[in-house]
Amino acid sequence: MGLVIIDYGAGNIQSIKFAFQRLGIQAQLSNDIETIQSADKVIFPGVGEASSAMKKLIQSGLNTLIPELRQPVLGICLGMQLMCNSSEEGNTKGLGVFDLDVVKFNSGVKVPQIGWNKIGNLKSPLFQGLNEDYIYLVHSFYAPKGTETIATSTYGLEYSAALRKDNFYGTQFHPEKSGVYGNKILANFLSIK
């Protein structure tokens, strides 16, 4: 079933679909459990507020499905945050894939962080062949650094710009909006077995 983008009513999924289209891949948008289960790869997007997005996941049963997926899964922005244990935004529980708690920036910086920042300390196949470079972010909350961190960025403090646990990947930034460099990260995700 190729690439499926989970469509649960939270986020600008059109941009992600277009980004893969530019890579020559037609992604399918779906919230159907069987369709998602049978996908080769899954994108878990999300923008907006964490607790209301979590409610939407629970309503559609996706909260139990997502952590059990066996194929490569990429959470983007709020998607990545919801894959953590919890979020301070709306004090919600997360899906518990990544063993981190998402908290709000509170270190003398403007919130939200909006714009292009550099990522470094790159690990994992997601950044295969890539050096540190600029990526586009929009967020008020962040996942601290942990053992699952595969890229870091600095905004008042150093935080997780990307995470990985087994088949689960997450990026705080928007690869679909991060220019040519972002395209390469999405292409890398597509080549993960």
Partner 1 sequence: MLTKRIIPCLDIKDGRTVKGVNFVDLRDAGDPVELAQRYANEGADELVFLDISATEQKRKTLAELVFHVAEKLNIPFTVGGGIASVEDVDILLKNGADKVSINSSAVKRPELINELVAKFGSQCIVVAIDAKQLEGNWKVHLVGGKVPTELDLFEWAKEVEQRGAGEILFTSMDNDGTKNGFANKALARLSEELNIPIIASGGAGTIAHFSETFKTGRSDAALAASVFHFKEIEIKDLKNTLKKEGIPVRI
Question: Which active-site residues does the annotation give?
Answer: 77, 174, 176
Select 12 or 37, whichever has its Cβ closest to partner 1.
12
Residue 138 C-beta: closest distance to partner 1, Å: 4
Query: How many Å apart are CA 103 and CA 81, to the nearest integer?
Result: 10
| Binder of partner 1 out of 38, 112, 120, 123 (CB under 8 A) | 112
Nearer Cβ to partner 1 (140/167): 140
Buried b (16+ CB within 10 A) or exposed e, 25-55: eebeebbeeeebeebebbbbbbbebbeebbe
- Interaction pattern, residues 36-65, with partner 1; x per rule: CB under 8 A: -----------xxx----------------
User: Can residue 31 be called a binding residue for partner 1 (CB under 8 A)?
Assistant: no
Neighbours of 80 (CB within 10 A): 30
Helix, strand, or coil here: 192? coil
State which of positions 113-172 bind partner 1 (CB under 8 A).
113-118, 134, 136, 138-140, 154-155
One of 7, 69, 86, 174 touching partner 1 (CB under 8 A): 174
Angle between helices 13-22 and 179-191 (to 10 degrees): 80
Of 33 and 116, nearer to partner 1 (C-beta) is: 116
Q: Is residue 33 involved in binding partner 1 (CB under 8 A)?
A: no
Cβ–Cβ < 8 Å for 97, 45: no
- Minimum Å gap between C-beta 18 and partner 1 is 5
In eight-state DSSP terms, residue 27 is P
Q: Quick check: 46 and 10 in contact, CB under 8 A?
A: yes
Given the DSSP bridges, would you call strands 41-44 and 73-76 parallel, antiparallel or unpaired? parallel
Considering only 2, 96, 120, 179, the residue that binds partner 1 (CB under 8 A) is 179
φ/ψ of 176, rounded to 5, equals -70, -10
Binding-residue total with partner 1 (CB under 8 A): 34
Q: Which residues bind partner 1 (CB under 8 A)?
A: 12, 14-15, 18-19, 21-22, 47-49, 110-118, 134, 136, 138-140, 154-155, 174, 176-180, 182-183
